[in-house]
């Protein structure tokens, strides 16, 4: 078995996920929030692939590919929203976008 | 023979469908003639079937004919209903009993439909009327031709439906609608008891054929089945205690009354007992109960008829009374006697209703006999025809009723002590019949025309009515006069022999020659006495009408049956309904809806606070939730 043990990969994935989650929770800029989301998704991908290799099970890689496809679509929608907000000269601050408040 | 029965059954149905489909594209007269023709075609089919059965019955020369053909023939169009081993076919039965009924229903029915052409002329909804009336005849033919009990029940129900439609024909009158509903509900009660009887029969014999009735049944089962059938018969034939719908049914047009009373509907109960006599003979108590019901009804109806002032209602009560005689006849086991009286009654009762209809039609729809005095002067044809019907009803020789009623009375003599009670009731009934019939006669026809008659009488182009009305009346007047001559027991009994293969009379119900003679003499004398009293009271005014206000009130209130049913059935039902509305619907049902809405609103008000609209809150809750799940798993491990 070459390379570091799987625990390192998981730890790295958890670290990246934590950064992403904090970014979503703390940052107000819409673009940064989207970036943080991508970070969380790819942290998940990393964990999937690492475990896939660890258990010699290809299913995890397939999941990772699926997540990438979904992430790509999600970014399309998210960036599209950002562009639309910008074109209407609306704020890009997520805290001011609270139209759905009950 | 079977072709005739199908033709007979389907012709009126085709007539109904044609009138319905053509709608306003054909003139009213065309609709009327389609209905009339279809019923007469049905009569032709009935004659065809009759000739077939007649030929089959002469198979061995003697009067008792053994073999399938003389017991009748069942034709099955297709299997209508199948469930496991139980199956019911769309069957018609052609046998002496059913052909006799077919002839009466289609023959008298055809005359009545012809009569309605004149009577209904000018009514707004003539086409609807003729579609209904052809359907009524079809229903009744289905009832009498049905080859098994289910087909009979289908006809039974359809007769109830079409009577509902016709009694309520003038639907703009609230009283007509009420009467129609009343008739339908009363009949539905009978239908239900019949259906229950059929369920018992299916449970124990797995069949609904007429043959199944003679199958192995315990006496309790036989009693229950017979009781259920009797319930149906009593409801359809307007016997006590389900009689109250019949007088109210007079709200329909007069030809409908004639049809209900003479050819279709009320005679169905008598037919049913004759048709299913096998089960009634296994349950002799119930059969005698039928006779007892008839005896009671004929007295009660005769008494009530004495105080009625509506010409049609008097005749209606006389129908109840005469059906009572038929019930006595079939109840003691003399099926041929009952069926014979059914036939002659069809003639003279149709005649009485039609002559009453002529009078009503000529007097601008007035039905109150107190205004009609002296009508005979202006309507001599109506007068003489009515007299023929009245004499037939009272049973004065040589008119039809004499030949058919007296054997029924005589047949009660050999069955035991209760036979004497029935006998007494029948004789008393004969007196009442003479009294109320000739009360009607003396009040309406003889003497100088009353001012009302002079003012309102209008003839029809110089005649008393349209020819379509006068011709059937004339034919029926002849039939009411000579129609009874085809049987004069014990000397001459073609009808008894005709029916013997299907419904042989019980030996107890056959009276000896002496009994017949004595009974005939007594009944005629008593009937004449009734006429004499009516003459003395209502024509010569020699005897004052007894005051007896309480008795009079009892009769005018029809022995309080309606009031009783109001109190027993209507009032509690209405009370329960009101109470349920007040105690249950408003506080529970309606309030539940309101409460559900309010609670949902309040909960929504609480939950909406969670929706901050801030992205970070949602993310926080998701993360916290995920963390909680992970934590839970860790702890559980």
In a domain, A33, yes or no: yes
In a domain, A72, yes or no: yes
User: Smallest Cβ distance to A100: which of B607, B609, B613?
Assistant: B613
Task: Give the CA angle between residues B396, B400, B405 to the nearest 5°.
Answer: 75
pLDDT band for position A45 (cuts 50, 70, 90): very high
The pLDDT value given to residue B60: 45
Judged by CB atoms closer than 8 Å, whether chains meet at B616 and A98 is answered as no
The pLDDT value given to residue A40: 93
Q: Tell whether A75 lies on the interface with B, counting CB pairs under 8 A.
A: no
Is the pLDDT confidence value at B63 over 70? Answer: no
The whole-number average pLDDT for the span B539-546 is 77
The pLDDT value given to residue B66: 45
* Nearest chain A Cα distance for residue B631, angstroms: 16
Residues with Cβ within 8 Å of B44's Cβ and at least 6 positions away in sequence, in order, are: B4, B7, B8
In a domain, A69, yes or no: yes
Whether the Cβ atoms of residue B433 and residue B451 lie closer than 8 Å to each other:
no
In a domain, A15, yes or no: yes
* Both structure tokens of A84: 């639309």
The pLDDT value given to residue B69: 46
Complex-level ipTM: 0.82
Whether the Cβ atoms of residue B398 and residue B488 lie closer than 8 Å to each other:
no
Kindly provide the b/e burial profile for residues B129-164, where b requires at least 16 CB atoms within 10 angstroms of the residue's own CB.
bbbbbbbbbbbbbbbbbbbbbbbbbbbbbbbbbbbb
In a domain, A1, yes or no: no
The pLDDT value given to residue B65: 46
Higher pLDDT, B199 or B217: B199
User: What is the percentage of chain B residues whose pLDDT exceeds 90?
Assistant: 19
Domain with residue A57: its CATH number is 1.10.287.3510
Higher pLDDT, B3 or B160: B160
List residues of B whose CB lies inside 8 A of any A CB: 607-616, 619-620, 623
Q: Tell whether A33 lies on the interface with B, counting CB pairs under 8 A.
A: yes
**pLDDT tens-digit map of B287-304:** 888 899 999 998 999 988
Which residue in chain A is spatially nearest to B612 when comparing CA positions?
A101
Q: Which of B17-31, B502-516, B596-610, B618-632 has the lowest mean pLDDT?
A: B502-516
User: Smallest Cβ distance to A101: which of B611, B616, B619?
Assistant: B611
Which residue in chain A is spatially nearest to B621 when comparing CA positions?
A25
Residues with Cβ within 8 Å of B226's Cβ and at least 6 positions away in sequence, in order, are: B197, B276, B279, B280, B282, B283, B286, B287
Is the pLDDT confidence value at B68 over 60? Answer: no
Whether the Cβ atoms of residue B106 and residue B4 lie closer than 8 Å to each other:
no
Judged by CB atoms closer than 8 Å, whether chains meet at A25 and B620 is answered as yes
The whole-number average pLDDT for the span B397-403 is 86
CA distances from B29 to B41, B166, B172, B360, B460 (A): 18, 19, 23, 22, 18
pLDDT band for position B67 (cuts 50, 70, 90): very low
Is the pLDDT confidence value at B72 over 80? Answer: no
Is the pLDDT confidence value at B376 over 90? Answer: no
Whether the Cβ atoms of residue B229 and residue B101 lie closer than 8 Å to each other:
no
Split into its structural domains, chain A has a count of 1
Q: Tell whether A10 lies on the interface with B, counting CB pairs under 8 A.
A: no
Is the pLDDT confidence value at B399 over 70? Answer: yes
* Nearest chain B Cα distance for residue A35, angstroms: 15
Higher pLDDT, B547 or B536: B536
Q: Among candidates B272, B269, B342, B277, which has minimal Cα distance to B103? A: B342
The whole-number average pLDDT for the span B46-51 is 88
**pLDDT tens-digit map of B92-107:** 888 888 888 899 999 9
**pLDDT tens-digit map of B316-375:** 999 999 999 999 988 888 888 888 999 999 999 999 999 998 888 888 788 888 888 888
**pLDDT tens-digit map of A72-94:** 999 999 999 999 988 988 888 88
In a domain, A92, yes or no: no
**pLDDT tens-digit map of B502-536:** 888 888 778 888 888 888 888 899 999 999 888 88
- Written in H, E and C, the secondary structure of B201-244 is HHHHHCCCEHHHHHCCCCHHHHHHHHHHHHHHHHHHCCCCCCCC
Is the pLDDT confidence value at A67 over 90? Answer: yes
Which residues of chain B are within 8 Å of residue A96 when distances are taken between CB atoms?
Answer: none
Taking one residue from A and the other from B, the number of pairs with CB-CB distance under 8 angstroms is 36
Which residue in chain B is spatially nearest to A99 when comparing CA positions?
B613
Its domain, for residue A26, covers 6-87
pTM: predicted TM-score of the whole model, two decimal places = 0.78
In a domain, A13, yes or no: yes
Which residues of chain B are within 8 Å of residue A101 when distances are taken between CB atoms?
Answer: 611-614
Judged by CB atoms closer than 8 Å, whether chains meet at B615 and A21 is answered as no
Is the pLDDT confidence value at B59 over 70? Answer: no
Longest CA–CA separation in chain B, Å: 115
The pLDDT value given to residue B216: 78
Which residue in chain B is spatially nearest to A25 when comparing CA positions?
B616
In a domain, A97, yes or no: no
Judged by CB atoms closer than 8 Å, whether chains meet at B607 and A101 is answered as no
């Amino acid at each position: 078995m070459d390379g570091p043990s799987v625990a390192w990969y998981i730890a790295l994935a958890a670290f990246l996920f934590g950064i992403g989650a904090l970014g979503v929770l703390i940052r107000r800029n819409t673009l940064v929030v989207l970036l943080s989301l991508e970070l969380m998704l790819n942290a998940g991908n990393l964990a999937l692939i690492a475990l896939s290799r660890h258990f010699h099970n290809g299913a995890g890689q397939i999941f990772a590919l699926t997540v990438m496809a979904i992430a790509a679509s999600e970014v399309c929608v998210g960036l599209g929203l950002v562009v639309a907000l910008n074109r209407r000269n609306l704020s890009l601050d997520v805290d001011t976008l609270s139209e759905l408040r009950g | 023979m079977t072709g005739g029965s199908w033709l007979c059954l389907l012709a009126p149905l085709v007539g109904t469908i044609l009138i319905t489909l053509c709608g306003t594209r054909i003139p009213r007269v065309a609709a009327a003639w389609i209905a009339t023709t279809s019923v007469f075609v049905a009569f032709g089919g009935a004659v065809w079937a009759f000739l077939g059965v007649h030929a089959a019955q002469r198979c061995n020369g003697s009067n008792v004919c053994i073999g399938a053909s003389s017991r009748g023939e069942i034709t099955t169009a297709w299997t209508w209903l199948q469930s496991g081993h139980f199956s019911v076919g769309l069957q018609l039965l052609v046998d002496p009993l059913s052909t006799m009924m077919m002839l009466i229903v289609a023959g008298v029915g055809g005359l009545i439909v012809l009569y309605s052409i004149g009577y209904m002329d000018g009514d707004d909804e003539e086409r609807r009327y003729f579609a209904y009336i052809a359907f009524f005849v079809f229903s009744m033919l289905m009832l009498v031709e049905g080859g098994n009990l289910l087909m009979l029940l289908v006809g039974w129900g359809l007769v109830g439906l079409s009577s509902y439609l016709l009694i309520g024909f003038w639907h703009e009158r609230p009283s007509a609608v009420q009467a129609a509903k009343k008739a339908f509900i009363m009949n539905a009660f009978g239908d239900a008891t019949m259906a229950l009887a059929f369920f018992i029969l299916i449970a124990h014999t797995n069949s609904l054929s007429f043959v199944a009735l003679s199958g192995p049944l315990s006496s309790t089962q036989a009693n229950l089945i017979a009781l259920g059938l009797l319930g149906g018969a009593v409801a359809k034939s307007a016997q006590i205690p389900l009689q109250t719908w019949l007088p109210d049914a007079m709200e329909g047009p007069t030809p409908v009354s004639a049809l209900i009373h003479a050819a279709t509907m009320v005679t169905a109960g008598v037919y049913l007992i004759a048709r299913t006599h096998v089960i009634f003979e296994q349950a002799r108590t119930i059969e005698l109960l039928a006779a007892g019901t008839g005896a009671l009804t004929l007295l009660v109806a005769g008494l009530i008829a004495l105080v009625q002032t509506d010409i049609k209602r008097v005749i209606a009560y006389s129908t109840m009374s005469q059906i009572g005689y038929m019930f006595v006849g079939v109840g003691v086991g003399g099926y041929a006697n009952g069926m014979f009286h059914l036939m002659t009654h069809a003639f003279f009762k149709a005649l009485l209703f039609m002559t009453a209809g002529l009078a009503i039609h000529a007097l601008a729809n007035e039905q109150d006999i107190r205004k009609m005095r002296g009508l005979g002067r202006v309507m001599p044809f109506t007068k003489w025809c009515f007299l023929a019907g009245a004499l037939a009803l009272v049973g004065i020789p040589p008119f039809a009723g004499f030949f058919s009623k007296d054997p029924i009375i005589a047949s009660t003599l050999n069955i035991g002590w209760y036979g004497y009670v029935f006998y007494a009731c029948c004789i008393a009934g004969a007196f009442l019949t003479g009294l109320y019939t000739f009360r009607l006669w003396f009040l309406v026809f003889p003497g100088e025309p009353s001012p009302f008659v002079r003012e309102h009488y209008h003839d029809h182009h110089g005649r008393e009515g349209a020819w379509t009305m006068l011709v059937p009346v004339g034919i029926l007047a002849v039939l009411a006069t000579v129609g009874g001559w085809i049987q004069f027991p014990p000397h001459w009994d073609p009808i008894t022999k005709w029916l013997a293969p299907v419904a042989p009379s019980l030996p107890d119900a056959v009276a000896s020659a002496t009994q017949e003679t004595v009974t005939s003499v007594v009944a005629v004398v008593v009937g004449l006495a009734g006429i004499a009293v009516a003459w003395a009271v209502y024509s010569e005014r020699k005897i004052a009408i007894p005051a007896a206000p309480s008795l009079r009130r009892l009769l005018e209130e029809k022995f309080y049956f309606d009031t009783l049913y109001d109190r027993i059935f209507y009032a509690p039902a209405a009370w329960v309904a009101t109470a349920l509305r007040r105690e249950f619907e408003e506080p529970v049902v309606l309030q539940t809806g309101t409460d559900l809405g309010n609670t949902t609103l309040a909960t929504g008000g609480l939950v909406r606070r969670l929706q901050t609209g801030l992205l970070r809150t949602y993310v926080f809750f998701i993360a916290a939730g995920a963390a909680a799940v992970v934590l839970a798993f860790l702890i559980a491990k």
